[in-house]
Structure 1
């Protein structure tokens, strides 16, 4: 097999591309439940997370690439199981079971003819377990992307999404993420003060 040839047959690659494509149409449950207009898809979320990983990954290119891969894989199972939110009445154990079954299907069936499926599964499992430094950072990126998006929905659509900011207090432990968190919350406070009728004298 030449270096230009794929490890996977074209039909398998096409099936995988379609599998991933489903994430374009799966809307993020948290925004849907709160009446956000035209809410982002799961793939929207993962795309910005991947670029965030690239931006904060540091000078170690191997580690940065690993963080990007994990960000791109972390919600991959949602292509089959959907975006299960905390308020959906599904236990963490059941959520894991459903998502693991989807990743098993991807690894053992759809992509069984190469090591690619195993790489996807291993990255997903590492993220889900959150035991490594890389996984913990990507989990922080997941939360950060969420509140950046919440801030944007508040700004553009006038939504009150305070609960998302409250749910992420104290979850950021890496220095860079703590700095970004402080900057975001400071900007949000300034924006709210500027828009407040009490502060503007328009009440």
Structure 2
């Protein structure tokens, strides 16, 4: 029988990742978005996206799991954005240390190894599953951006601009194109207030 994590280690792990439920996503905080989503909010909807993407050529279960754990290291390191002055190398090292800490808490279990390996695969971004989940990461962000624009009549253009022409999976690209059309229709009837100017 494979080993199981100790009760104490498992509870400490669960207590640690609780911060994902209360830590607000940095990009929205930096743009003064009222009541911004948490890291866990983002991860949950990404997982649902992976569940419904409908690509029979991919391992859907792996995609869902990868979406579930891709940001779990942020429970320790926080939500580091490209604008925070942290190099990709340093960010990778911090997140890798977080996942290694989780493996220590959970013990030498297949589940701990799977979580660690899924993050490594996602971070490398070379497999078809990792490429899809990276697309979903960007798509979930712009879906959320449009929802904030609609709710607060604020412009979050830079989030949309940062993802344009970067989607590789055809279904996700189609979703992004439809979102762009919806956003165009929304702003044709609204007057934006660029929140970046009030930061």
Question: TM-score, length-normalised on structure 1?
Answer: 0.89
Residue 195 of structure 1 is aligned with which of 177, 180, 190? 190
Structure 2: unaligned runs, 5 residues or longer = 193-199
> Quick one: structure 1 residues 57 and 18, their matched pair in 2 at CA, closer, same or farther if it must change by over 3 Å?
farther
2:128 is matched with which residue?
A: 133
Q: For 1:195, what is the secondary structure of its paired residue? A: coil
1:24 aligns with 2:24: no
1:171 corresponds in structure 2 to 166
Answer yes or no: is 1:75 the counterpart of 2:71.
yes
Runs of 4+ in 1 over 4 A off after TM superposition: none
Q: 1:50 aligns with which of 25, 47, 66?
A: 47
TM-score (norm 2): 0.91
Higher relative contact order (CA 8 A, sep 6+): 2
Q: Is residue 97 from structure 1 mapped to residue 97 from structure 2 by the alignment? A: no
Counterpart CA distance in 2 for 1:113 and 1:91 is 31
Alpha-carbon distance in 1 for matches of 2:79, 2:156: 19
Q: Distance between the aligned counterparts of 1:196 and 1:84, measured in 2?
A: 31
**8 A contact 1:57–1:63 mirrored in 2:** no
Checking the alignment, whether the CA contact within 8 Å between 1:24 and 1:41 is kept in structure 2 is yes
Deviation at 1:57, TM superposition (A): 4.0
Deviation at 1:12, TM superposition (A): 2.4
Matches of 1:176 and 1:105, distance apart in 2: 36
The one of 28, 34, 46 aligned to 2:31:
34
* RMSD over equivalenced CA pairs, Å: 1.8
Q: Name the counterpart of 2:11.
A: 14
Shift of 1:63: 1.3
Map of 2:82 onto structure 1:
86
